[in-house]
């Protein structure tokens, strides 16, 4: 039987969780261009192992609902590839969809081995928790969806209009500000129902980052984070996870919602519209492999050693403006050497074998890491020890 291996939360870590949660829920400070350079921990096995330790182990992961579908695919393939002669996985990986904020907090306190997040650790987080890493695993994006019956033409929306929809200043879909962006489109007199996440969410971080980047006077930087203070809007709804956002929007005429790109097939099946979103160059674009890659190509070369990077609303021609790294949040000091080795092996597999588009990424509409970023990720993985 596989042995369950978890980090034990120390009293000091539990005492620090409130501070981390507060940092995650507030506006992350400007990404640092330098690494926090945690000291290399004690190693068992190779720094970048290509297979797990032979000892049976259980690793735990939780966090981003945006990354969750891919994480499930990755773990199933990994457990199948590395199995005993009886077919049992050498390493059992338990995954969870709890929201990025929980992933960050649980990784920091040792509740899980790997936290999954759409949001990077802030500069203050990296200073407070110098043994924590945010390790880039893939490139993702966020769509903006709506349920407006009778409108078949994709609607154009920008940060200013979305901020006003989420703050209650625009209350109907036939508002003049929406009409001005969509000449010739017959808009119904239908109440706008903004949907937002009820859980601590990296998607909320991405969406509010975009609102602030587009219109800092319309959406304050103090209200950017995985958990924010949403303006009081009559009829506004809160949903849990990307799945909840899909079902909630499908059930609510007039809704507007931000939903991770890995749920694209589900938003399409639900009949939701997908908005064309204004980028920093003034173009209105949908998220697809071409536009996501164009945005990433303009930004990934700026990735620092600690991989803390915002790619929101870059001035990239042809680039979709809400693009991000999906991160593994990991402590460099694990409970024991075998656990650390198995984490390194799994993450190394994710950013090498797991980058195949046809096998893994295409199904969730993610894009692979550029080779230079894979090198940065490998360097970070190699720091995980005990």
Residues paired with residue 138 on neighbouring β-strands, in sequence order: 326
Mean per-residue pLDDT, 307-323? 96
Q: Band of the pLDDT at 122, cuts 50, 70, 90?
A: confident
pLDDT at position 123, please?
79
Query: Which has the closest alpha carbon to 335: 378, 386, 286, 285?
Result: 386
Give the residue ranges of DSSP H helices in the chain.
11-25, 68-81, 100-109, 123-128, 159-166, 176-181, 202-214, 241-250, 264-269, 289-299, 337-350, 371-381
Cα distance between residue 273 and residue 188, in whole Å = 14
Class of domain 142-301: alpha beta
The answer to whether the 11-138+324-381 and 142-301 domains have the same CATH topology is yes
Q: Contact, 266 vs 248, CB < 8 A?
A: no
Least reliable range by pLDDT among 38-47, 264-273, 293-302: 38-47
Mean pLDDT score of the chain: 91
DSSP string, 151-196: --SPPEE-HHHHHHHHTTS--BTT-HHHHHHSTT------B-EEEE
pLDDT at position 43, please?
73
**pLDDT over threshold 80, residue 195:** yes
Q: What letter does residue 33 receive in the DSSP assignment? A: S
**What pLDDT digit, counting tens, does each position of 1-49 carry?**
333 333 333 333 334 444 444 444 444 544 544 444 444 456 788 899 9
**What pLDDT digit, counting tens, does each position of 144-164 carry?**
999 999 999 999 999 999 999
Name the CATH architecture for the domain at 11-138+324-381. 3-Layer(aba) Sandwich (3.40)
pLDDT at position 199, please?
96
Helix, strand, coil in percent for the chain, rounding step 5: 35, 20, 45
Mean per-residue pLDDT, 81-101? 96
pLDDT at position 18, please?
42
Mean per-residue pLDDT, 272-287? 97
Extents of the domains making up the chain: 11-138+324-381, 142-301
């Amino acid at each position: 039987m596989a042995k369950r291996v978890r980090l034990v939360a120390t009293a000091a870590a539990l005492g620090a969780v409130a501070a981390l949660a507060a940092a995650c829920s507030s506006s992350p400070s400007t990404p640092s261009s330098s690494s926090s350079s945690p000291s290399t921990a004690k190693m068992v096995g190779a720094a970048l192992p290509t297979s797990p330790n032979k000892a049976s182990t259980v690793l735990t992961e939780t966090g981003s609902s945006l990354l969750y579908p891919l994480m499930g695919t990755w773990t199933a393939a990994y457990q199948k590839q590395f199995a005993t002669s009886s077919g049992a996985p050498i390493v059992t990986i338990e995954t969870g969809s709890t929201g990025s904020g929980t992933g960050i907090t649980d990784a920091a306190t040792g509740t899980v081995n790997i936290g999954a997040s759409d949001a990077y650790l802030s500069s203050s987080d990296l200073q407070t928790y110098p043994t924590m890493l945010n390790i880039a695993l893939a490139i993702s994006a966020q769509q903006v969806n709506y349920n407006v019956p009778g409108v078949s033409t994709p609607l154009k929306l920008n940060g200013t209009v979305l901020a006003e929809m989420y703050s209650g200043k625009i209350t109907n879909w036939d508002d003049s500000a929406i009409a001005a962006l969509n000449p010739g489109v017959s808009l119904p007199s239908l109440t706008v129902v903004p949907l937002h996440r009820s859980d601590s969410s990296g998607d909320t971080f991405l969406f509010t980052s975009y609102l602030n980047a587009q219109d800092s006077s319309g959406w304050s930087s103090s209200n950017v984070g995985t958990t924010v203070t949403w303006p009081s809007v009559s009829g506004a709804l809160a949903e849990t996870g990307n799945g909840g956002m899909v079902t909630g929007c499908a059930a609510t005429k007039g809704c507007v919602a931000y939903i991770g790109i890995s749920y694209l097939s589900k938003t399409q099946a639900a009949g939701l519209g997908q908005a064309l979103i204004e980028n920093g160059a003034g173009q209105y674009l949908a998220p697809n492999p071409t536009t996501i890659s164009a945005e990433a190509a303009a930004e990934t070369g700026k990735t620092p050693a600690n991989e803390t990077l915002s790619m929101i609303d870059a001035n990239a021609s042809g680039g979709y403006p809400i693009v991000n790294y999906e991160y593994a949040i990991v402590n460099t000091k694990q409970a024991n050497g075998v656990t650390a080795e198995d984490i390194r092996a799994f993450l190394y597999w994710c950013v090498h074998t797991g980058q195949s588009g046809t096998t893994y990424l295409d199904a969730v509409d993610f894009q692979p890491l550029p080779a230079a970023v894979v090198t940065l990720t490998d360097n970070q993985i190699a720091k995980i020890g005990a």
